[in-house]
Amino acid sequence: MTYFLRFRFVKYDFLTPAVVKGVPVTRVICRMELQSLLVNAVGEDAIINNSKVVDFVSDANKVRVFLQNGQQYEGDILVGADGLRSTVRSKLFGPQEPKYSNFMCYTGIAECDPQYLLQFGYKVFLGTNQFLVALDIGRGRMQWYAFVKEARESPVFHTGNKDMILQRYKDWCDEVVTVINKTPEDTIIRRPIYDTDMITSWGRDRVILIGDAAHAMLPNLGQGGSMAIEDCYWLMVELQNLVAQTHPMLSEISSDELDLAFRRMASVMISRYQTHLHISVPPLPLCNEYWSSMKVKHPAQLIANQALLLALPKFMDWVVVGQH
C-alpha cells in the first residue's frame, strides 16, 4: 500500500504483519462479482427483489414482516440489513437522520492494469480537499474512488461526471489522469457520503441489525462491507450455539435468549468496529493545510516522511491484526 502526493510519501507492507500473526491474507474483489458468488451460493429462488420492508411486528414466538408491495412474511428472527436509512432501525430505536459529510465519492472501473498496481496493489493519491484511491480488482481491471469536497446542494449529474472529475484532477500526476481517461463514462457512479451516530444496542426481542443499519462506516478504509460480513459470521455463531446448547429448533428459543445472544454478538462487533471508528473519518479536513504546504518541497517534507515511516508500521499493525 502506498500513499502519494506529488512524490512517494510513504509505503507500507500489509502482508507481513498478517503472515507473522497468522491472520489470513486478504484480497480485493469486485463487489459485483462477490454479489454474484453469494447469489449462486444461496440460489436465486431465495432472493426477492423490490421488497422493501415498511413495518414489522415481533412477539414472543415469531416476527411478521410487511413489505411495500403488500406481501407479508413470518419467521423466527428478522435481520435488518437495510442500510444507512434503515426502516428496521427506525422502528426499533426511532428515526435517525443521516448527516452529510461534505464529501462526494465518485467511483469507476477501468480496463487497465497499471504497473504501479502490480507492484503495490493499492495506492492513495492525496491532495487538498480531495484524494483518489486506486486498487487492483483482478482480470486486468482496476477500480478507483475519488473523494471530493462538495456542498450538499451540489446537483446530481447522471452524465458528465467524467468531465467533471477530469477537471478536478487535471493538475494531478499522469497516473491519476490516465486511469480516469480510461474509465467509460457509464461506469462512473456518484455517491454522497453520509454518516450516522453510533448506537450501542443493535437488536431487541427477535430483531437484530447488521451492516450499515447498525454501524454506518465512512468509506475511507473500505471496511463497510467487510464489517457487515463479520456481523453475519458472529450472528451465525451465536445462533448455532443457542441451537446446540439449548434447543434443537430456532423457533423454540425464547425472545429473552435471543436478546442475550444479540447483545453478545453486538459486544464482539462493537469492539471490532471501534478499531476502525477512531480512524474512519474524512482525512482531508484534518490535513488540508499540511498537504497544501507540501505542494512546494520543504525540509518539513523529509521530517514528516521519516516520522511516518517510524510511526505507521506500529499503527497499521494494530489496524490489521490488533485483535489477534
Hey, CA dihedral for 155, 158, 163, 167, is it positive or negative? positive
- The structural domains of the chain, ordered by start, are 48-98+198-277 (3.50.50.60)
In Å, how far from its chain's centre is CA 233? Answer: 16
Provide mean pLDDT across the span 159-176.
85
Query: What cell does 323 get?
Result: 485483535
pLDDT number for residue 288: 46
User: What does each C-alpha distance from 206 to 132, 197, 239 come to in angstroms?
Assistant: 42, 23, 12
pLDDT number for residue 213: 92
How are strands ordered across the β-sheet holding 122-127?
8-11, 2-4, 122-127, 130-138, 141-149, 99-110, 189-195
- CA dist., res. 97 & res. 194, Å (int): 10
DSSP, res 33: H
- CA dist., res. 240 & res. 121, Å (int): 37
Provide mean pLDDT across the span 45-52.
87
Which of 104, 277, 129 has its CA nearest to residue 194?
104
pLDDT-derived band at 281, boundaries 50, 70, 90: very low
| Segment 152-161, tens digit of pLDDT | 766 665 667 8
Task: Determine the angle formed by the axes of helices 255-277 and 299-321, rounding to 10 degrees.
Answer: 160
Asked if the model's pLDDT at residue 284 lies above 60, the reply is no
| Segment 138-154, tens digit of pLDDT | 788 888 999 888 877 66
Global pTM? 0.76
Q: In the chain, pLDDT over 70 holds for what percent of residues? A: 71
| Residues 10 and 131 sit within 8 Å (Cβ to Cβ) | no
Burial class (CB in 10 A: 0-12, 13-18, 19+), 154: exposed
pLDDT-derived band at 324, boundaries 50, 70, 90: low
- CA dist., res. 169 & res. 177, Å (int): 7
